[in-house]
Amino acid sequence: MHVRTLADAAPSVTADALVVPVFSDGALDGAAAEIDAVLGGTLAGVLRDGEISGKAGELSLVHASGQPFSRVLLAGLGDRGKFKPSALNKYAGAAVRYLGKRNAKTIAIALPKEAAVDVARSASFVAEGALAGIIDTTTYRTEPDKPVVTETVLVLESGLDAATVAAGTARGTIVGEAVNFARLMALTPGNDMTPTHLAARAQELAADAGLDYAMLDEAAMEAKGMGSLLGVSRGSDEPATLSVMTYTGDPSSKEILALVGKGLTFDSGGISIKPAENMHEMKYDMSGGAGVIAAMWAIGKLKPTCNVIGVIPSSENLPGPRAMKPGDVLRAMNGKTIEVINTDAEGRLILADAICYAKELGATRIIDCATLTGACVVALGHAASGTMSNDEPFVTRFLEVVGDVGERYWRLPLYDDYSTQIKSEIADLKNTGGRAGGAETAAAFLKAFVGDTPWIHLDIAGTAYLDGESSHQAKGPTGTPVRAFVAFVEDVAKRGTAAPTNGAAKVGAGV
């Protein structure tokens, strides 16, 4: 699908459908008022009759006979006084999903007057949301049900600065495509998305974005002493991989931000096998790795002035004849020994070696992301990703930047108590501290491999994929945390690595 801007006034737009916004106060202004005048008060009548109240996510379709646009879709944006640019992500996504399944191949989307608060970001969210709306989970069906057929989305300038709208739309198109890359990788079943396949996709996207790419195979991992990652892969015939995507946007700087993503292409739980119910969803356990791969592609396309590396450890976790067993002791790259209490706590094992390797590559700051714990889902549901850190200014800055990106992040504690909980009697660490504080003890385990490097851990177990379809996005993978990674890297390029502007730690952030 192509997304581009259009300078035409809303009433003169030629399209299969025109999308105009309405807020819960019911007042028609901007493009909505212009179209209402052309249609002789039809839109006002829809509001008066209660077909739509302007609540966020509401849609109402009006046919416009004799106009260059054959249909008008009124789309609700909620409370006008609480408008945020990120709301336009869902606004555009819902419109594309609704109209695209109704044979609208060209859709024009008007920006609300409130977009003037941040024109570039508003246009970016429209483009991003429109692209996210086209993906369905029916990627393997020979005859998909009611596919989205939209080929072109026109973002109307709506009287706003044309150059700024164009720049925002271009940026949002890149982010939207990256989000879809991550979602499609996660949708791919385990027989077609092995560690080797994931590495090949990383190499392909790296080449497309002009990034350097390297991969460690199992022999190279063995030479590096990555016994923690290799311990997980022992139960599978599929070899583990560790991909590194490198973006050098500021050769004069020694600062390197590392993004590390868990790439478990399938997780049966190993010897500590998972229940059969819903085990098929464990193909999504590589969502963190997919997010890093996709974000690195977007970073290469956007070309921010900073240095970023993406590190993606990938393996399967299966109960094969050579699989690690409860009670085994593994030795990680940094020499720390790990007692395996539960083989289903494997994500932290592959991340441990990847974090050590990121440090060896010169990372001065690290953010990891992983579908790591069911405990985080219990704590936060599917509403937000758990966020833990060893560095107060770093995490405060992160939460400040990602407060309105279309993804939610919530701060969880990382007290010393949790590190005590994962001490082993026979090794340095054990890979699980039991049920209590499961998300926090998993983060405490990773903290043991970070050392003094500023680090943030994102547990995306509840947000990487959703069980139900929404108006703006199909069920399944969400692309989290691609949006946050791109926004944070852009902020680092703009402001350097200075402390947060508000000077105080936030408990949580999100929209």
Residues of the chain scoring pLDDT < 50: 503-511
As a residue count, the chain comes to 511
Catalytic residue annotation = 274, 348
Q: What is the CATH number of domain 188-509?
A: 3.40.630.10
What local confidence, expressed as pLDDT, does residue 143 receive?
83
- Cα-based distances in Å from 86 to 22, 38, 115, 118: 16, 30, 10, 11
2-179 is classed in which CATH architecture? Answer: 3-Layer(aba) Sandwich (3.40)
Q: Give me the residue spans of the domains in the chain.
A: 2-179, 188-509
Backbone angles phi, psi at 65, to 5 degrees: -65, 135
What local confidence, expressed as pLDDT, does residue 499 receive?
61
| DSSP run (H or E) holding 361 | none
- Cα-based distances in Å from 299 to 175, 303, 307: 9, 6, 10
Calpha distance 293→315 (Å, rounded): 15
Contact 215, 280 (CB under 8 A): no
Nearest by Cα to 10 from 46, 35, 29: 35
What local confidence, expressed as pLDDT, does residue 498 receive?
64
Query: Which residue in this structure is represented by tokens 């396309």?
Result: 301
Helix (H, G, I), strand (E, B) or coil at 6: strand
pLDDT digits (tens, 9 = 90+) for 316-361: 999 999 999 999 999 999 999 999 999 999 999 999 999 999 999 9
What local confidence, expressed as pLDDT, does residue 392 receive?
97
What is 487-505 written as a DSSP string?
HHHHHHHHHTTPPPTT-S-
Q: Which two tokens stand for residue 164?
A: 């700024």
| DSSP run (H or E) holding 83 | none
Contact 320, 234 (CB under 8 A): yes
State the amino acid at position 86 in one-letter form.
S
pTM of the model: 0.96
Number of H helices, E strands in the chain: 15, 21
